[in-house]
Amino acid sequence: MRILLQFPEGLKQHAVEYAKKIEKEGNEVIISASPSFGACDVAVDEAKAVGAQKIIHFGHAEFIHINDIEVEYVEYSIDADLSILKESLEMLKEYKKINVVTTVQHLKQLPSIKEFYEKNGKEVIIGRPYGLAKYSGQILGCDVGSAATVDKEVDAHVYFGGGLFHPLGAVYATKKPFLSIDPFADKMLWLDEYREKRKKLEKGLIIKSLSAKNFGILVSTKVGQYNIELAKIIKEKLEKNGLNGFILVANTFDFDSLNNMLEIDAFVNTACPRIATEDNDRLRKPLLSPNMLEEMLKIKAGKEK
């Protein structure tokens, strides 16, 4: 069988090791060298181009079922040092009921984390995802339901894992205090200030887009991000409000190329929702989420009246 192997950036260092192993089993192996941005980004086009019968996608839990090619998701677990949890008790002393979230890499440790906090007098709630993430307590860049669905029930949220990409998505979708615990950097940080900064940034982008006439609507061809129907709805809504909408399609958006579209006054994102959150500073023109566009149109209609 011809198999395409796909790795996220943090696991590409193991690509040759896995390729040799799978070749010894009698398979022909090809390795994807493209960036992989998550479980939504399965290399279907590459697999079809090289005639692969199967994709093995490493590092993520199953995200989406693909009908026309076999996809095997291989989760990757990391046992991080839990000793840092003792230090977090002081930071969480004011909060009785907490929610704990993490990424798929640490989900096997979630029961131990829950047990630790409960032994130290906390009531721990584990939320359910919206449906894109596979497990309770798991968060993705595009699915923070494990935090958002229990926000009203808890006093604070705790994220356990490396980096800020995943917890920031959950911070933006919640209102309660949010503590990030990074066992690799041996660092703990309250993230609530990011929530307020984001609110101010969104208000500024909405105001900047009030004078926009031509809107570029971003549509990704990545199998887990593709949403042409939403793009069509947005285009129709813009035109009903006397504005112009142009659908822009790419697999991975190059922001320098988007900046070259000088006639576009603002962009609207239908691809990975984190593009509108994380990448505004890479564009010369405002980049809005669909919800931000809706707010802008309401403000614009009110001003015109």
Enumerate the CATH 3.40.50.11850 domain ranges in the chain, comma separated. 84-190
pLDDT in tens, 54-78: 999 999 999 888 888 999 999 999 9
Integer Cα distance of 264 and 246 in angstroms: 9
pLDDT in tens, 81-134: 999 999 999 999 999 999 999 999 999 999 999 999 999 999 999 999 999 999
Contacts 24+ apart (CB under 8 A), 195-199: 195/171, 198/171, 198/172, 198/277
Contacts (Cβ under 8 Å, ≥6 apart) of 151: 99, 157, 173, 174, 175, 176
Q: Assess if CATH 3.40.50.11850 describes domain 84-190.
A: yes
Asked whether residue 305 carries a pLDDT value surpassing 60, the answer given is no
Enumerate the CATH 3.40.50.11860 domain ranges in the chain, comma separated. 199-304
Question: What is this structure's pTM?
Answer: 0.89
Q: Number of helices (H) and strands (E) in the chain: give both, helices first.
A: 11, 13
| Average pLDDT, integer, range 185-211 | 95
CA–CA distances in Å: residue 153 to residues 93, 125, 135: 17, 8, 19
Q: Which of 104-113, 270-279, 283-292 has the lowest mean pLDDT?
A: 270-279
Enumerate the CATH 3.40.50.11840 domain ranges in the chain, comma separated. 2-74
Q: How many other CB atoms are found less than 10 A from the CB of residue 171? A: 26
Q: Which of 131-140, 209-218, 237-246, 277-286 has the lowest mean pLDDT?
A: 277-286
Fold classification of 2-74 is Rossmann fold (3.40.50)
Mean pLDDT of the chain, nearest integer: 95
Asked whether residue 304 carries a pLDDT value surpassing 70, the answer given is no
Q: Where are the beta strands (DSSP E) in 93-237?
A: 97-102, 123-125, 156-160, 178-182, 187-190, 214-220
Looking at the structure, give the CATH architecture of the domain made up of residues 199-304.
3-Layer(aba) Sandwich (3.40)
